[in-house]
Structure 1
Amino acid sequence: MSNHDQQPPWGSKKKPQTPEEMVAQIIKKLQDFFSDHKKPPGGGDDGDKPQKSFNPFSGIGKILAVVLVILVFQGVMSSIYKITPGEVGVILRLGKYNKTTEPGLHLKIPYFDKLFKVDVESIRKEEFGFRQTSPGQRSSFARGEYEHESLMLTADKNVINVAWIVQYRVNNPGNFLFMVKDVRQAIRDLSEATTRRIVGNMDFDYVLSNRDLLAMSVKNELQAQLNNIRAGVGIGTVQFQDINPPEPVKPAFNEVNEADQDMKRLVNQAEEQYNKVIPKARGQAKQIIEESYGYAAKRVNNAKGETGRFLDILAEYANAPDVTRKRMYLETMQEIIPTVRSVYVLDKNQQTPIPLLNLSGDKGLDFSTPQNDNQQRTK
């Protein structure tokens, strides 16, 4: 038997494809079931049948039944919910916090549980002193109408223009939803108050040259205040975009800044010269000191050596005076004679010395002619 033969004689009905079509079909069936105007089978005459009495509550019952079916259907459909990645679901049961659900399909009790979806992955941003009008590689910003947020007074009574960004993320969905009515406005108010107080305790030049330290201080204090009010957010970054003097005083400020740069340049040049000369002078002084230590050690060691040699000679002299005296004489002559160029013979009766022997080695021996043979002696 084919599939066509197995179908019912009245044919197959098209099934509804969507929940709306399903609800419409159920309502239609209920209307047909509770209808008072059903046609009699076979097309007989209505006059042969007894007339039904009118019941005013029969229509209300039908309406209540239809409403009940719709409520049940809606309850079944609303009991299933989906949490997308990056979100969490916060369930309130009869107005009281019940649980927090992670991404995926979940069930809840219809008409008793209320669902709030919170994005916990996206980074939210608040801008102060400017607004980004067209994001992208060539972003444009609007500043003029937001100067009331950026103008601040420093500790040295100067006015400064500060623009910054606060980035944050939800870290406690329950507190984010129910503890603070407007978390965004709370972050703006607390961030502006914290930044003004910190900048107000710093000098103008310090704020200009220490924006990283300023951003860290604002981030820590802002996070502490948000934790105190249980806002349910965590500060990711506090970044100062622009720190400048106001427009009317910018030319004077630029002149002062140029003078400050010149001063720093001169200071750097002086330090460079200092680093060239002073270490060299210190090295030379240390070298002289070390050489003096070496010279002192050398003189002391030489003196000690001479003293020891003298004492040794003295001891030998005490044992053998004649031998020691002759040996000392010969050693002295051995050192002196190689350096002698001329030999003179001196006589007590001679008024001038007479050269006797030329030992220079240039012309050999050169004996002088004696004036008096009796006076000439050779030594």
Structure 2
Amino acid sequence: VDRPPIAKIQKMEIGYETIRAGPPAVYESIEEEALMLTGDINIVDLWFIVQYRIKDAKDYLFNVRNVRKTIKKAAEAAMRQTIGDRGVDEALTVGRDEIQEVTANKLQEILDLYKSGIYVVTVKLQDVHAPGEVKEAFERVASAKEDRERFINEALGKYNQEIPKARGEAEKTIRQAEAYAVERTKHAQGDANRFLQRLKEYKKAKQVTKDRLYLETMRDILPEIEKIVISETEEGFLKFLNLRDKGLE
């Protein structure tokens, strides 16, 4: 009786094969499996593995003649379709996780269509790179894109630092302007109130108010002025004024 290993998770390599497990490990590329065309008409050299297990022993034993060959061809077809829907940038850099997930789903659909009795555990990309003839050019492009992303992130970081700072300075300036406006308003209101009070007093006693305002004004300005007092009653004195003194000009 042929009893398939239902509980065992098995592995298949596509695009390459392990020559020696190592360490160090030695691998050999299988170009007819590894070379794939991207959606933007570029070629990538892609190695990946499929991990699977048997989910239905009857289907596994009787519906497919060569299960491993079927899995390999189906996996290669699913990966080619997935890579063909994406650009080379996604394949080489940011799209790896999505490529693995989409390929696994496509592969499972194909194997279920065949009623193979196989369950796809996972698809894992091992290596994705440009073919040797153009690898250096692709690496320069990838490096330039990484630099671009770094510059953008640095600029955004600086922007995020400077904007709150500028916003804080603007709010500070606005608060200072508002405080100054309030102070000037209060001062102006005080001047107006004093004027109205004096006007009220003036209307009650015009001459008294005039005299008081005159005396208050003299009190404010006389301390800053040099004063000369001339007596009209004194005689026999020579009146001399030093007109060269700048303070008397």
1:131 is aligned, of 17, 36, 42, to 17
CA 228–316 in structure 1, closer or farther in 2 if over 3 Å, else same: farther
CA 331–272 in structure 1, closer or farther in 2 if over 3 Å, else same: farther
In the other structure, the counterpart of 2:247 is none
2:223 is aligned, of 340, 344, 358, to 340
Report the Cα distance in structure 2 between the residues aligned to 1:240 and 1:249, rounded to whole angstroms.
Answer: 21
Shift of 1:117: 2.5
Matched, 1:167 2:51: yes
Shift of 1:334: 11
Report the Cα distance in structure 2 between the residues aligned to 1:191 and 1:283, rounded to whole angstroms.
Answer: 58
The superposition leaves residues 40-71 of structure 1 with CA deviations (integer Å, 9 ceiling, x where unpaired) of xxxxxxxxxxxxxxxxxxxxxxxxxxxxxxxx
Shift of 1:128: 0.7
CA 371–211 in structure 1, closer or farther in 2 if over 3 Å, else same: same
Matched, 1:237 2:237: no
2:8 is aligned, of 118, 122, 126, to 122
Aligned positions of 1:5-20 closer than 5 A:
none
Aligned positions of 1:271-286 closer than 5 A:
271=156, 274=159, 277-286=162-171
In the other structure, the counterpart of 2:134 is 249
Structure 1, unmatched stretches of 5+, are 1-114, 345-353, 357-369, 375-379
2:180 is aligned, of 261, 280, 295, to 295
Report the Cα distance in structure 1 between the residues aligned to 2:6 and 2:179, rounded to whole angstroms.
Answer: 76
- Greater radius of gyration (CA): 1
- Any idea what SS the aligned residue of 2:36 has? strand
Shift of 1:229: 3.4
In the other structure, the counterpart of 1:5 is none
Matched, 1:148 2:28: no
In the other structure, the counterpart of 1:222 is 107
1:202 partner amino acid: R
Report the Cα distance in structure 1 between the residues aligned to 2:51 and 2:128, rounded to whole angstroms.
Answer: 18
- Which deviates more, 205-214 or 192-201? 205-214
TM-score by length of 2: 0.73
1:195 is aligned, of 61, 76, 79, to 79
Shift of 1:152: 0.7
Report the Cα distance in structure 2 between the residues aligned to 1:119 and 1:247, rounded to whole angstroms.
Answer: 40
RMSD: 3.7
In the other structure, the counterpart of 2:238 is none
Instruction: Say which structure is richer in helix.
Output: 2
- Which deviates more, 186-195 or 263-272? 263-272
- Any idea what SS the aligned residue of 1:285 has? helix
Is the 8 Å Cα contact of residues 202 and 209 (structure 2) preserved in structure 1? no
CA 308–233 in structure 1, closer or farther in 2 if over 3 Å, else same: farther
Shift of 1:314: 6.6
Shift of 1:166: 0.9
TM-score by length of 1: 0.51
1:218 partner amino acid: T
Shift of 1:150: 0.8
Shift of 1:248: 1.4
The superposition leaves residues 12-44 of structure 1 with CA deviations (integer Å, 9 ceiling, x where unpaired) of xxxxxxxxxxxxxxxxxxxxxxxxxxxxxxxxx
User: % of aligned pairs identical?
Assistant: 32
Structure 2, unmatched stretches of 5+, are 235-249
